[in-house]
Amino acid sequence: MPYSAKNHGSRHVRAFEHVDATSAEEAVELLGADPLARAIAGGTDLIPEMRLGIREPDRLINLKSIKGLDGVTAEDGCVRIGALARLAEVAQHPLVANDLSILVEAIDLAASPQIRNAATLGGSLCQESRCWYFRGPFHCWLKGGTCCDAEHGDNRYQAILGGGPCFTVQPSDPATALVALGAWATIVGPRGERSVPLEEFFTRPHDDHRALTCLGQDEVVSHVDIPPLAAGARNVFLKAMERAEFGFALASVACIVTVEHDRVKTARIVLGGVAPVPWRATAAERLLIGSRPDRPVIQRAGAAATEGARPLSTNGYKVALAQGLVRRAIETVMT
């Protein structure tokens, strides 16, 4: 289970200044002027972090006061979702609900209705690790320590792919679906705007950047663009949780395929809950493309999805779990 104040006791939140930004550029300027400043939108991640003492900002830069970053629009054939759009509003918008069921499924499984009505898309993509060592009273590697406490500790929920030196997993379900969709994020920083594929937006933490995204201290996400799905694309999002609903993923999969003459023409398979980033299962994709996915092919694709997995002492179950989800996803889109 994720670390919570209920488990270990919450701390008093230090005093802070609250500033309403009127534009993304102003937010960037305010963030750049104060290394202890933090941007806040829905607050569903940052406020709990502050209560636990993980973050102690002296200034909160309110992004919700910025106009024009909360819409869902059609732009040059893409669906553009503002970073401040609430998850519930995104899932219900016709441009998403009618054509991007994989994102709707990911959002619906991401959190309770109360959280979805408060949390923003940008906040979901930028949320911090849910590892209980990161959330707890430990000086873990991700918080500047010398080692990952989970590597040799309680690691039942940790990464089996792409881990080390940190073995946390990416907590965002919408992130997994959006990487499968080939989405791009537009980031506003002190040097203007830059656009990056979401597949590159998420980063495996390393010594020079102990974070789950490529964002700098003085950068904010403006919006996400989702290119149109290919004609006839079939897609599904599946998720395994410890509890019946509204839990973080033990493993998940976003799968999109196109089929031509009974053969798979294109395939994108992305795993969630098993790596520090949404994990492209490229070996499984290569195996599927050009094939008629009968049972043996589907079995091999499932096994290929976790190629290179290195389970820790108590999370080996995730290998079989992820493989099973991939098999079920392929069977679902092919029927």
More confident residue, 246 or 174: 174
Q: Give pLDDT tens digits for 210-232.
A: 999 999 999 999 999 999 999 99
pLDDT of residue 13: 66
In the block, tokens 């940052």 appear at: 46
pLDDT of residue 4: 37
Report which secondary-structure segment, H or E, holds 30. helix 24-33
Q: How many helical (H) and strand (E) elements, i.e. helices and strands, does the chain have?
A: 14, 12
pTM of the model: 0.94
Q: Give pLDDT tens digits for 93-112.
A: 999 999 999 999 999 999 99
In the block, tokens 């998850």 appear at: 87
* 295-304 and 317-334 helices, crossing angle to 10°: 140
* 101-108 and 173-180 helices, crossing angle to 10°: 170
Q: pLDDT tier at 197 (50, 70, 90 boundaries)?
A: very high
Answer whether residue 1 shows pLDDT above 70: no
Angstrom distance (rounded) from CA 305 to CA 256? 14
- What is the token pair recorded at 209? 């950047």
- Please, which residues have CB within 8 angstroms of residue 178's CB and are 6 or more apart in sequence? 103, 125, 198, 224, 226
Report the percentage of the chain scoring pLDDT > 90: 92
Contact 167, 130 (CB under 8 A): no
Domains, the chain: 234-334 (3.30.390.50)
- Please, which residues have CB within 8 angstroms of residue 52's CB and are 6 or more apart in sequence? 3, 5, 8, 10, 11, 135
Q: Give pLDDT tens digits for 136-155.
A: 999 999 999 999 999 999 99
Answer whether residue 8 shows pLDDT above 50: no
- Please, which residues have CB within 8 angstroms of residue 327's CB and are 6 or more apart in sequence? 298, 299, 301, 302
